[in-house]
Amino acid sequence: MASRRQIAAMKQSLFDQDYLDEQFIQLEELQDDANPNFVEEIVTLYYRDSSRLVSNIEQALERNPLEFNRLDSLMHQFKGSSSSIGAKKVKAECTLFREYCRAGNAEGCKRSFQQLKREYATLRKKLEAYFQQARQAGPFEAARRSK
C-alpha cells in the first residue's frame, strides 16, 4: 500500500504532466464528510457517460462525408464534461478536434480523435490507480492531504 506521501506524489505528477488541472482541486474540495467519495463518484460518472459520447463520435467519424456540425456538437458536450472533472489534456484535444471540425479537416479530426482517445484512456488508468491507492489510505484523508 502506498504511503500518503506516495499518493500525494502520484497526484502531483498528474498535475505536473497536465493530466489534471485546477478543476480537479475543486472536486476535491467538494469532498467532505457528507460526500466522502465525491471525486471518485464524479470521475466514474464521467467515464460512464462519456464513453457513450466517445462511441457516438467514433461512429460519426466513420461516415462519409463527415458531418462536421454534428461532430462539433458532440465534441462540445464531451469537452464540457471533461473540463468539469479537470481532464486537462483531454480537454485540449477536444479543442483541437473542434478546430479541425470548423476547418472541415476530416483527416485532422480523425487524427485528433485518436489522440484524444489515448489521452482519455491514459487518464482513466491513472485515476483508477490513484483512487485505488487513495482508498486504501483513506479517501478523505488522501484528498485532504494531497492538496
Partner 1 sequence: MNTCVDKMTAETGMDDPGDQFPVGMRVLAVDDDPTCLFLLGALLRRCQYNVTTTNQAIAALELLRENRNKFDLVISDVHMPDMDGFKLLEHVGLEMDLPVIMLSAHGDPKLVMRGITHGACDYLLKPVRMEELKNIWQHVIRRRKFDSKEQNKPNNQDKQPLAGSGCSPGSAGTSNTDQKMTKKRKDQNDEDDEHEEDPSTQKKPRVVWTVELHRKFVAAVNQLGIDKAVPKKILDLMNVEKLTRENVASHLQKYRLYLKRISCVANQQASLVAALGTADQSYWRMGSMSGLSNLHTLTAPRQFQNTVFRPLSSSGVIGRLNTPSGLVVHGSPSSRNIQFGCAQNLNNSMNDPLKFQSTIVHGNQNGNLVLGITGYSERDQLQHHKHKSISSVQDMANASCSHTSLPSVRNNSFMVAARPQNTQGGGANENLSSIDSQPSEISRSLLDHGSCGANWSNGVQPTQILPSSYPPTGFPRQLGFLPSSNPSGSSSITLMYSQSHDATANANSQGGINSSGHMSSNVQFRGWEDRNQDAAYRSNVLCSSLNSLIHENSGVSGSASPSPTDPAFYRNLNFNCGNPIQTKHDGFAKLAEEIPLRQDQGYIIHQQMAQQSRISNNLGSLDDLVGSLMKQDKDKVKLLDGDLICNNYTVGTSM
Q: Give residues in contact with partner 1 (CB under 8 A).
A: 23, 26-27, 29-30, 32, 35, 38, 41-42, 45-46, 49-50, 69, 73, 76-77, 79-81, 83-86
CB of residue 21 to partner 1, shortest distance in Å: 9
**Nearer CB in complex with partner 1: 2/56:** 56
**Cβ closer to partner 1: 8 or 25?**
25
In the complex, the smallest distance separating the C-beta of residue 64 from partner 1, rounded to whole angstroms, is 20
Burial class (CB within 10 angstroms; exposed 0-12, middle 13-18, buried 19+) of 11 = buried
Q: Say if residues 25 and 109 touch (Cβ distance below 8 Å).
A: no
Tell the smallest beta-carbon distance from residue 6 to partner 1 (Å): 27
Q: Distance (Å, rounded) from C-alpha 94 to C-alpha 80?
A: 9
Give the alpha-carbon dihedral of 144, 145, 146, 147, to 10 degrees.
60
